[in-house]
């Protein structure tokens, strides 16, 4: 019997989370539904382009989540595109490799 774990590996492709995550770092992501809280890091789809992003949860209002990068000047986030829906979240970052 083959078991599939809900864990994914992503490579950080941007500088928006520096100094916490550097461009080129690898992260493990819990890719299943889980409870999110402010300060959690998540992998998400950009609401317009669909590009995969890593951001930090700043505020949760129902199903709407406000996200920001740790490196504000290098980050496109909720300050630009507004809150994202829970369905845009691909998973929660659980470990930096």
Which segments of the chain have a pLDDT < 70?
A: 1
* Angle, vertex CA 41, rays to CA 7 and CA 94, nearest 5: 35
* Sequence-distant (≥ 6) Cβ neighbours of residue 79 within 8 angstroms: 68
Q: What percent of the chain has pLDDT over 70?
A: 99
**What pTM was computed for the model?**
0.90
Domain boundaries along the sequence of the chain: 7-96
Domain 7-96 has CATH 3.40.640.10: no
Residue 3: the pLDDT is 73
The C-alpha atoms of residue 24 and residue 10 are separated, in whole angstroms, by 10
Q: pLDDT, tens digit, for every residue of 5-33?
A: 899 999 999 999 999 999 999 999 998 88
């Amino acid at each position: 019997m083959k078991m599939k774990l809900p864990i994914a590996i992503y490579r950080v492709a941007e500088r928006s989370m520096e100094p916490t995550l550097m461009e080129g770092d690898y992260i493990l992501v819990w890719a299943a539904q889980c409870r999110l809280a402010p300060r959690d890091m998540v992998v998400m789809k950009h609401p317009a382009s669909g590009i995969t992003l890593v951001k930090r949860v700043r505020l949760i209002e129902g199903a709407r989540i406000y996200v920001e990068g740790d490196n504000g000047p290098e980050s496109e986030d909720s300050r630009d595109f507004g809150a994202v829906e829970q369905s845009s979240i691909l998973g929660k970052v659980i470990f930096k490799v």
